[in-house]
Amino acid sequence: MSITQAEIKQIRSLREKKFRDELGLFVVEGEKLVQEALDSDFEVVRVLRREQIGEAAMARITQLSTPSPVLAVVARPQALAAPAPVRGLCLALDGVRDPGNLGTILRIADWFGVQAVFLSDDCVDLYNPKVIQASMGSLFRVRTSTADLPALCRRFREEGLPVYGTFLDGKDIYRRELSREGLVVMGNEAAGIRPAVAAEVDAHLLIPSFGGSGAESLNVAVATAVTLSEFRRR
């Protein structure tokens, strides 16, 4: 198998969001992640192996600091026109900007059996290479879509499903009654949940600190894990 200069140029361009958006493609690297893509409903356009195209070519197309033995080019799924409420426990992310956080949250959502993850349109790109790596394959299993979060919260409430959010002035999550269904909103790393979304939240939750901690807050991925764990524990 060979790879042309034009193909190398195209794959290298997928490091940038504007070209991922334009071409509708993204890159997955590593044996585990490529196999996850092949086992999923995503369309795998091409699989390239180091022993087939050569060390030098793989070094040119990799998005990692050290080239992996295998790389796949994958088609992005079509976006839903208007994401709708989903029965079960769902998650919404309001302006999560760090790719490591988003990838880790997808992995957490996968672990706790979250039915869908909704992202505000200013979240970090779902197909950013660091998001993909941090998700450890959960990207291919967790249902995701971009949504107008205030409108989505209203639709959940119209369906009789509660909307929860985490706030520093919320009520102790360990003392609150929690539903098995509904939407849990997590906010931006610095600003938290923004006012337009907060106005649509039914229940303000707090993960309390213990022992006189001086920490101001938890990392959003850590807070997501703690929150979902408490929902599933009930």
144 and 96 belong to one structural domain: yes
pLDDT digit string, tens, across residues 31-48:
999 999 999 999 999 999
Residues 148 and 224 in one domain: yes
Q: How confident is the model at residue 78 (pLDDT cuts 50, 70, 90)?
A: confident
Mean pLDDT throughout 154-175? Answer: 96
Considering the domain architecture, whether residues 225 and 114 belong to the same structural domain is answered as: yes
Task: Say how many C-beta atoms besides its own lie within 10 A of residue 202's C-beta.
Answer: 15
Residue 202 lies in a domain: yes
* Residue 91, pLDDT score: 98
The predicted pLDDT at position 234 comes to 85
Same domain, 127 and 227: yes
Do 118 and 193 lie in a common domain? yes
Q: Say whether both 133 and 181 belong to one domain.
A: yes
In a domain, 213, yes or no: yes
Strands 70-75 and 44-49: antiparallel
Residue 84 lies in a domain: no
Identify the pLDDT of residue 80. Answer: 67
Q: What is the CATH number of the domain that holds 225?
A: 3.40.1280.10
Do 224 and 140 lie in a common domain?
A: yes
The rounded distance, in Å, linking the Cα atoms of 27 and 127 is 8
Say if residue 30 is in the same domain as residue 112: no
pLDDT digits (tens, 9 = 90+) for 121-132: 999 999 999 999
Residues 164 and 225 reside in one and the same domain: yes
Strands 89-93 and 117-119: parallel
Rounded CA-CA distance 61/42 in Å is 21
Total domain count for the chain?
2
Residue at 212 is within a domain: yes
Identify whether residues 127 and 222 lie together within a single domain. yes
Q: Are residues 67 and 94 in the same domain?
A: no
pLDDT higher than threshold 70 for residue 81: no
The answer to whether 117 and 80 are in contact (CB under 8 A) is no
**CATH number of domain containing 13:** 3.30.1330.30
What angle, rounded to 10 degrees, do the helices at 220-233 and 99-111 form?
10
In the chain, % of residues over pLDDT 90? 88
- DSSP-derived secondary structure for 196-234: HHHTT-SEEEE----TT-------HHHHHHHHHHHHHH-
Question: Is residue 57 located within the same domain as residue 108?
Answer: no
Domain containing 47 equals: 5-75
The residues, any chain, with a CB within 8 Å of residue 75's CB and separated by 6 or more, are 24, 25, 42, 43, 44, 45
